[in-house]
Amino acid sequence: MANPTTAITPTRSENYSEWYQQVVRAADLAENSAVRGCMVIKPWGYAIWENMQRVLDGMFKETGHSNAYFPLFIPVSFLEKEAAHVDGFAKECAVVTHHRLEMGPDGKLIPAGELEEPLVVRPTSETIIGATYAKWVQSYRDLPLLINQWANVVRWEMRTRLFLRTTEFLWQEGHTAHATREEAVEETMKMLKVYANFAEGWMAMPVLQGRKTDGERFPGAVDTYCIEAMMQDRRALQAGTSHFLGQNFAKASEIQFLDAQGERQFAWTTSWGVSTRLVGAMIMTHSDDDGLILPPKLAPAHVVIIPVVHKPEDSAAIQAWTRSLADELRKQSFDGRSVQVQLDERDMRGGDKAWNWIKKGVPVRVEVGPRDMAADSVFMARRDKPHKEKLAVKRGDFIQGISALLQEIQDGLFKRANDFRIANTKVIDDAKEFEAYFAAPKVAENVPTPIHGGFALAHFCGDPKVEAQIKDRLGVTVRCIPLEMGNEPGKCVITGAPSPQRVVWAKAY
RNA sequence: CGGGUUGUAGCGCAGCUUGGUAGCGCGUUUGACUGGGGGUCAAAAGGUCGUGGGUUCAAAUCCCGCCAGCCCGACCA
C-alpha cells in the first residue's frame, strides 16, 4: 500500500461485491457481529440512517400519518390467518419457544419454561397490527387510520450482505386502513410517490416506479408497487415497496366497521416500507474507487475543515481562524438545516485526515494553512471530483456559496447516476438479443461474475411460467411494470404472444 | 440449505504438505527529521493461531464436531 492509485482495493471493475464490502469498512459504516447475518451499524453509518429517518418521518407526518409502536413478538396463530402471507414468510421466521433459562449440570444455560404458543420475531407486522386495528376500527368515523412504525424486523436469510440483506434490519412500516378501495389505492400510490421523491430528491438516486408481477408480489397483497434503482454493477435494487392489500388482511384479522348506512364492511388496507437497505443503495449508486460518496442532503457532515499546521507557533492562529470559519459556515443553511461542519483538529497528518474523509464521503473538504490565512482563502476539494482537483477560494465567497455548492453536488450526483442508468438501459425486441444482453461472460468456477447486462425494456406476455423460466436460465426477472411508460402494445420478447406494454427486466439484488 | 473456500496482532497475509510452543507488510506508541498532502529514520508495544474435542512426549500444523466470513447455486415482498 505504499502508493496505491485508489483508496479502495479491489476496484469496482475488478470485483464489485468485494469493493462494496471494502467501502463499507473504509467508511466505517458497519461491521459484522458475532451473530450470523446481523450487523453492527457504526456511528457514521447510523448517522446516515438517522438523516434518512428524519426526512422520511417528516414526509410521513406531512401526509397525515402518526407514529406508533407494536410488539416485536407475534403469536404463530396470527401468522396463520393469511394463507399467502404464511407461504411467503414461514421459511424465514425466527421462533421463540421458551421464556426462561436454567443452569444445566455442565454449567451451560438451557432453555426452560416452554411457551404454550410459540412467538415469531416479526418479519413484518401486518398480522399483529391487523389484530390491533380490528379493535380500533368500529365505525367509518374511525377511518382512515394512518399509522407508521419505526422498528427492527428479522428475516432468517440464507445469504446476507451488510445493509443489503441482513437477518435483522431497521425499517419503517406504514399500515393504513380505509373505508373504500379507492382511498386505499390512492394511499398506496401516494406513498410510492413519497418514496420516489425521497430517493431522487435526497438520495440523488434515480428510480423507476412500477408494479410487481404476480411472482414478485408481497405475500398477501393484491398489488405491490415498488421503486427500483440501478446499482453501478447494473443490477436492480428494490429500494422501497408500497402494497395495496385489498381486504385480504382485513378479512384475516376481521377489521370491520359500520358504514354511514349502518352496513358492516371490511376495511381496505395498505402497507409500505423502506429499510436500512437504502444505505446500501446509496453506497452502490454513488461511491467510487476511493470510497463512499455521500449526497449532501444525507451527509452527516457537509464540510470538513482540515487545519494545516506545520509550525507550532502557527497553531493558535490557525485554530482561531478555522473555528470562526466553522461557526460562520454553520450559520449558512442547506436543505432547511444549518450546514453541518466537521472541524478535524485531531493530532494527525493532514494527508491521513484528508484520505479519512474522502473514504467517508464528505461532500466538501477544505484545508486551511498559513498561506490560505494570509490570502484570506481556503483550499477546497469536492468529493464528486477527482481528489487532486483542488481550488483556492476566497473565504467570504466560500461561505456565501456553500449552500449553492452543496446543491450543485447533489444535482450532479443525480445526473451522473441518471446518465449511467440511461446508458445501461436497452430497448430489446428480439429474443436472441435479449439472451445475449444478459448472458454472463464465461469465467472460472467460484469466481465473481464480471459486470454485464443492465435494464432491458422488453415486452412480456405476463405468464408467470415464462418469467420463471427466464429466471432459471438467465437469472433475470421482471423488476417492475413501469408506471411512467405508455401502454404501447407489442409482442412478448420470449413467446411472441401479445403484450400490453414493455416491462423492465434485470438481474436483481 | 447444497458445493467450494477461508478463519494466525487493528488490517492484509506467510507458516500447515514433511508436528518441535509464531513471523512479515501496513497500522499503533515513543523519539528525531520532515512539512500543502496516505513522508523518512530509529526504537517499542501488541497474538489462549475462530472454537470445542481427539491423536501425540509435543498441535497453528494431523483427525472430527461446531461457530463465523466469502464465492457459486438454491432461496429470498
Coil/strand/helix, residue A238: strand
Give the distance, in angstroms, between residue A196 CA and nucleotide B51 C1'. 47
Report how many helices (DSSP H) and strands (DSSP E) chain A contains, helices first. 14, 27
Give the distance, in angstroms, between residue A1 CA and nucleotide B46 C1'. 21
A118 DSSP assignment: E
What are the distances in angstroms from CA A361 to CA A45, A210, A349? 11, 31, 19
- Cβ-contact A283, A336 below 8 angstroms: no
The answer to whether residue A59 scores a pLDDT higher than 60 is yes
Which of chain B's bases lie under 7 Å from a protein CB?
A: 1, 3-5, 25-26, 28, 35-40, 67-77
| Residue A30 to residue A215: CA distance in whole angstroms | 33
Give the distance, in angstroms, between residue A450 CA and nucleotide B16 C1'. 33
Task: State mean pLDDT over A143-160.
Answer: 94
Model pLDDT, residue A443 = 67
Give the distance, in angstroms, between residue A82 CA and nucleotide B23 C1'. 60
The answer to whether residue A8 scores a pLDDT higher than 70 is yes
Give the distance, in angstroms, between residue A226 CA and nucleotide B68 C1'. 34
Contacts of A64 (CB under 8 A, 6+ apart): A146
Determine if the peptide bond prior to A498 is cis (ω within 30°).
no
- Cβ-contact A307, A371 below 8 angstroms: no
The answer to whether residue A4 scores a pLDDT higher than 60 is no
Q: What is the 3-state secondary structure (H, E, C) of A402-452?
A: HHHHHHHHHHHHHHHHHHHHHHCEEECCCHHHHHHHHCCCCCCCCCCCCCC
- CB atoms near residue A2 (< 10 Å): 3
The answer to whether residue A3 scores a pLDDT higher than 50 is no
**Could you tell me which residue, A303 or A388, shows the higher pLDDT?**
A303
The count of residues in chain A is 509
Amino acid at A163: F
Task: State mean pLDDT over A205-223.
Answer: 93
| Residue A238 to residue A485: CA distance in whole angstroms | 18
Structure confidence by residue, pLDDT tens digits, A449-504 = 778 899 999 999 999 889 988 988 888 999 999 998 777 899 999 999 999 999 99
Give the distance, in angstroms, between residue A386 CA and nucleotide B18 C1'. 52
Which residue is listed with cell 397490527?
A: A129
Within 13 A of A166's CA, how many CA atoms are on the CB side?
26
The answer to whether residue A315 scores a pLDDT higher than 80 is yes
Cell of A443: 469465467
What is the phi/psi pair of residue A315, to 5°?
Answer: -55, -50
- Cβ-contact A315, A321 below 8 angstroms: no
b/e A95-117 (16+ beta carbons within 10 angstroms → b) = ebeeeeeeeeeeeeeeeeeeeee
Which range is most confident: A78-92, A386-400, A428-442, A481-495?
A386-400
Task: State mean pLDDT over A309-325.
Answer: 88
Task: State mean pLDDT over A198-225.
Answer: 95
Give A14's pLDDT tier (boundaries 50, 70, 90): confident
* Burial grade of A326 (CB within 10 A; 0-12, 13-18, 19 or more): middle
Structure confidence by residue, pLDDT tens digits, A402-438 = 999 999 999 999 999 999 999 999 999 999 999 999 9
Give A138's pLDDT tier (boundaries 50, 70, 90): very high
Determine if the peptide bond prior to A144 is cis (ω within 30°).
yes
Task: State mean pLDDT over A200-225.
Answer: 94
Closest alpha carbon to C1' of B71, residue: A446
Which residue is listed with cell 493530532?
A: A347
The answer to whether residue A393 scores a pLDDT higher than 70 is yes
The answer to whether residue A445 scores a pLDDT higher than 80 is no
Task: State mean pLDDT over A297-311.
Answer: 92
Of all helices (H) and strands (E), which one includes residue A221? none
- Cβ-contact A355, A349 below 8 angstroms: no
CA-wise closest residue to A403 among A338, A306, A322? A338
Please report, rounded to a whole number, the percentage of residues in chain A having pLDDT higher than 90: 74
A371: nearest nucleotide, CA–C1' criterion: B36
Closest alpha carbon to C1' of B74, residue: A158
A33: nearest nucleotide, CA–C1' criterion: B68
Cell of A476: 433475470
Pairing type for strands A502-506 and A455-459 reads antiparallel
A290: nearest nucleotide, CA–C1' criterion: B38
A21: nearest nucleotide, CA–C1' criterion: B70
The answer to whether residue A283 scores a pLDDT higher than 60 is yes
The answer to whether residue A209 scores a pLDDT higher than 50 is yes
Model pLDDT, residue A455 = 95
Give the distance, in angstroms, between residue A408 CA and nucleotide B72 C1'. 42
First to last CA, chain A: 32
Coil/strand/helix, residue A226: strand
For the whole model, what pTM was predicted?
A: 0.94
Task: State mean pLDDT over A153-159.
Answer: 90
- CB atoms near residue A283 (< 10 Å): 26
Model pLDDT, residue A446 = 58
A377: nearest nucleotide, CA–C1' criterion: B36
| Residue A376 to residue A370: CA distance in whole angstroms | 10
What is the phi/psi pair of residue A272, to 5°?
Answer: -155, 145
Structure confidence by residue, pLDDT tens digits, A241-274 = 999 999 999 999 999 999 999 999 999 999 999 9
